[in-house]
Chains A and B, each alone.
Chain A
Amino acid sequence: MKVPMTEYLYIDLNSERWQCRVCAQDLGDARGNYKEGTLVHDRDPEEIHPPLLDREKYQYTFSPDPVYCRILEYCCPGCGTQIEAEYLPPGHPPTVDMIWDIDSLKEQWAKVEENAIQVINYGPDENALADLSPRFEESSSSTTQS
């Protein structure tokens, strides 16, 4: 069974692998850090947050200072979907933001006895119904292990 862990990431409980929800790309051991299966780009923050004040005249412009802040953009190597954007000081090790206990996750879902994709929503709000079904054909899901 696939359990949606974020907007773009499944954990496949059978294979114990991280998987891209958009293209079925395998992103590594579900017991480990999904970022290890991604591609990363070190983005100058001024390219994302454009200066509103003249950067030639002023030190503070609405743009983060690249000496203080970088944006690490993580994308799926299969489809290029941006999975995470992390703000870090230059050189700081990327944060291992999620490590899950897969045995416990399996036990938890065994008790639920329902398909995770169908029962997980975005919350109690009436608009919060989520369609977290795969955006790929199920048959392709085993073909893209890296």
Chain B
Amino acid sequence: MTTTESSQQTHAHSHPTPETHLTAEEQEWVDAFMNDTTLFIGPDPEIMREHSIAQRSPLEERILAHDLDPLVADRIRRRLAGALDEAFEMCESMGAAPGAKWADLSVAVYTAAGDVAYMSNRGVIAFSAVLHHPIRHIMKYWKDEPSVGINPGDGFFHNDARFGMVHNTDQSMLVPVMREGEIIAWVGATIHEGENGACEPGGMPSGSETPFDDGLRGSPMKIVEKGRLRRDLLTFLQHSTRDPKLMLADIKVKMGAVKRVMDIVDQSIGEFGVETFVGSIRMTVEDVEQEVRRRVLEMPDGTVTVNQFVDSTLKENILIKFACKITVKGERLIVDLRGTGPEIINRAINSPLASTKAFVSQAILSYWWPDLPRSTGALSPIEIISDEGTWGDCSYDAPTGQNLQASFRGFSALQIAYAKLQFSVPEKYSNVLAPWFNQINDFLWGGTTQHGEQVGNLCADLNGMSGGAKPFQDGEDSVAPLFCAMADTGEQEVMEEEVPFLQLVSKRVVRDNQGFGKYRSGMGYEMIVAARNTPSWGFMTVTSGAKFSSVCGLFGGYGCPTYPLAMVKGINIFDIVKKDPSQFDLSMERVMNEQPFEGGTYSTYHMGLQFDIAQEGELYMIAQGAGGGYGDVLERDPELVVEDLQLDRISEQVARDIYRISWNPETFVVDVEQTEQLRADERRARIKRSKPYAEFVKEFVTEEPPTDVPYFGSWGQENNEHLFATVWDHHGATQVQGRLEEIPIIFMPNRHVVKINNLESRIRELEEKYNEVIPHRI
């Protein structure tokens, strides 16, 4: 395939190589010298910006020049599928990481060049579009490197997303399949481990300000040599994170899972021969690529645009755009991400392009065409246009601790667009669907457990994302994360045996927390946690969406609400309920609105809380998010509205003002006639209060973004190469505009300093106002 990535475009803070005028021979000398004196092998742009499947190797070319028996290939595929699912279950059952227990992992078989040929049916599909990068790196840099090399029984570890990973909290074990000294395939297991030694516990720091705050920077390295775990490297990895036991346990678990798959690979090769095996896995990759082209051809030609706006750096509220324009032309599908805001060099929300692409692939393989084998071939024919230096395609120097903020937007862009791209296609492979919730509203935690161990990780509730509505039924409540269809939200009681906090409220649906529509989205639940029986503990949250809804609706339906973090500090809830058990009636709404606990400090916050030390019994409260609604709210069956009302899923206000129904509050019987009248009235009222498009645009649209909120990205879509950004200089915030390479490095000011400055300035104002002269010595 061809990519049209504009990776060659130079961002202001990269360093183009000056032009040279050397003869071919001189260039050869320079290359030889440079190869001998390489100081550092970083992520290779030739590997990292490429998502197409590799060219056939001479062996693959030779094998596939002849017809391969499809029945034999199918037998090999089925065996691999069985082995991979078994290995997946091994990781899930034995994995020490909470993420492993809840299916946040994958096991896969790769071609020699690293393309994923087959992946476990359960688990995180995004891995299928990102793990070819480290294998390509190993093959290019370590295979012939005398100090490394690749031998049977070796195993490679990596975790750094800049070398190809969903995010830095995942860790891999990649093992070559070798015959007669040649690498013919790879087997790998990857688990969301959680802890990685970042500036905050849990592996996904919202507070990282440099890549060095992101924790372990594991480039692909040989952790297993000829079947033996290298104790020196293992010690280094353990020493670099907060949970050494976790590191050891899960490296062994991954080795065990890979071994199980390797046994089946060996059996298959023994039975069918090397050539048939290699041909079969290569054919799978190529078949998927070919089938994707065919399915793209079935879509109508045209362009669908999805603009998303994210409201936080996880330290302060801003507005940053994730632009996406998808064009279908015959069998070409082009995803154009230009117009996306520039990277913010001291905030954790940036994503390497490879991670963003992984979630483009996640949408394709789980929400567009879930029937396809999970393979690198799925993304391979898709063309992606992106400028390096944006927050969805960040540079090497940008922190990426919470890169899901940008990469999940790649998922949502594709998921939202598909409803429009596929609506008129007669043969569909998945249902038309409103947007899935796209934030990991969850508590990350760390500290010392009741057993005296140092830990850092997260609650399984990150898997509690709600589904979008379908055109024929409501979405499902807190059903599964966008990245893993069959993940679990875990048993809190089991966790409480291991970690020193309680979920005092868990999995209780929050009223009105839905995307309204003809069919409504699934609803999210709230969770209230408090630490107990620990010398040292803390919580953090890592998402946005507290001021701007994270997902929209579809075809007239509304999006999700926004989500606050609420806290009550300075109390001990355990003492309070011990004295008065009736106080155990907890909900975020009641606690925050009634403020029943004397002496407590009640506050709300956006959903980017850096690691916050929790005293025993202090309350932290969040809610899981809803998906998008489908269709006009006035078309919702009034009986379904009343059903939600009876179950306290919606308020009377929503039933009355949004769904416009009339009912008897005692019997919950719908007044059909009155409801029809109310809805007819509302349709007329809409027409009356709305304006013709052209007139509306004239009044609503501004030439440039507002200056009262820091803004990053294009404004509109007519010129997506012209960006706006807020920068800070000696005089404070200023809005600048221009092409990406003309925008200065975006460096957010320290929010505490900003707050202090504002407070000092307010003090001066008040002093002047009340004529109180106090000398300020500096």
Contacts and interface: CB of A to CB of B under 8 A. Distances in A.
Interface in A56-79: 57-65, 67-69, 71-75, 77, 79
Contact of A82 (B304, B556, B700): B556
Contacts of A63: 561-562
B592 interface: yes
Contacts of A72: 700
Interface stretch (B250-258, B404-412, B627-635): B627-635
Interface residues on A, range: 35 or more
Interface in A90-132: 90-101, 104-105, 108, 112, 114, 116, 119-125, 127-130
Contacts of B623: 62
B679 to A, nearest CB: 9
B564 A62 contact: yes
A83 B715 CA distance: 24
Contacts of B774: none
Interface in B203-228: none
B659 to A, nearest CB: 12
Contact of A75 (B311, B552, B686): B686
B548 A81 contact: no
Given A59-B604, A123-B430, A68 B686 contact: no
B301 A95 contact: no
A114 B420 CA distance: 21
B587 to A, nearest CB: 9
Interface string B586-606: 001100110000000011111
Given A8-B555, A95-B306, A128 B472 contact: yes
Nearest to A146: B692
Interface core residue of B304, B426, B513, B623 (most chain A CB under 10 Å): B426
Contacts of B633: 82
A53 B588 contact: yes
Contact of B428 (A37, A82, A85, A122): A122
Interface stretch (B146-154, B480-488, B637-645, B706-714): B706-714
A98 B547 contact: no
A52 B510 contact: yes
Interface residues of B, number: 97
Contacts of B311: 65, 68-69
A7 B553 contact: no
Interface stretch (B280-288, B650-658, B734-742): B650-658
A24 to B, nearest CB: 15
B413 to A, nearest CB: 12
B708 A67 contact: yes
Interface in B723-776: none
B143 interface: no
A129 B428 CA distance: 11
B99 interface: no
Contacts of A57: 592-593, 602
11 contacts: A39-B692, A52-B510, A68-B317, A68-B709, A73-B690, A92-B701, A97-B304, A108-B300, A122-B472, A124-B429, A130-B472
Given A77-B687, A104-B300, 4 more contacts: A50-B651, A62-B513, A89-B548, A92-B715
Interface of B: 300-307, 309, 311, 317, 319, 329, 420, 423-426, 428-432, 470-473, 510-513, 516, 518, 546-549, 552-553, 555-559, 561-566, 588-589, 592-593, 602-606, 623, 630-635, 651, 653-654, 657-658, 682-687, 689-694, 696-697, 700-702, 705-706, 708-709, 711, 715-718
